[in-house]
Amino acid sequence: MCNGLCCYAEPHKDGSGPTYFVCNPASGQTRTARILEPQANWKLIAVNLAFDPLKSAFYNLIFVTEESRSLGSQKMIRIDIYSSETQSRRQVLVSVSSNAGFKNGVYWDGAIYWYHQQRNSMSYFDIEVGVCVEPQNG
């Protein structure tokens, strides 16, 4: 749920990636977004909805996938940003520490924030710029 919009997924009948729905409970409108196809070596770990009705009537869906092969202390993350305005997506690849967490993201002021409980830290992804920032150790 993000500023009144709700996002949910249903498995697709043909066994490929799920279909995502963004609905507005107040208006009863629902839009479908079948964005990602499953890819070998990549695992979907988070889907976030970014919407601020004071700035725009459009929303973004943020898909976070991680490469199943680890790079030691680092892991490769792919962030796909789907825009309802352009009905297209763009992709950002970032390398993050292997213990970075991306569950339970919250949208605020143009970015998705993820709190990592074990590290007691927060990471964020600036949607417009396409940059993922992790806290520095030490």
Between the two ends of the chain, the Cα-to-Cα distance in Å is 35
Residue 31 in tokens: 């839009």
Residue 75 in tokens: 């892991």
Residues 6+ apart with CB under 8 A from 91: 78, 79, 80, 81
Could you tell me if 22 and 49 are in contact, meaning their C-beta atoms sit under 8 angstroms apart?
Answer: yes
Q: Half-sphere exposure of 96 toward its Cβ, with a 13 Å CA cutoff? A: 23
Q: What angle do CA 138, 120, 48 make, to 5 degrees?
A: 120
Q: Which H or E element spans position 67?
A: strand 59-67
What's the confidence (pLDDT) of residue 27?
84
| Rounded distance between C-alpha atoms, residue 89 and residue 35, angstroms | 8
What does the pLDDT look like over 3-28, one tens digit per residue? Answer: 788 888 888 777 677 888 899 888 88
What does the pLDDT look like over 41-81, one tens digit per residue? Answer: 788 888 999 999 899 889 999 999 888 776 677 888 899 99
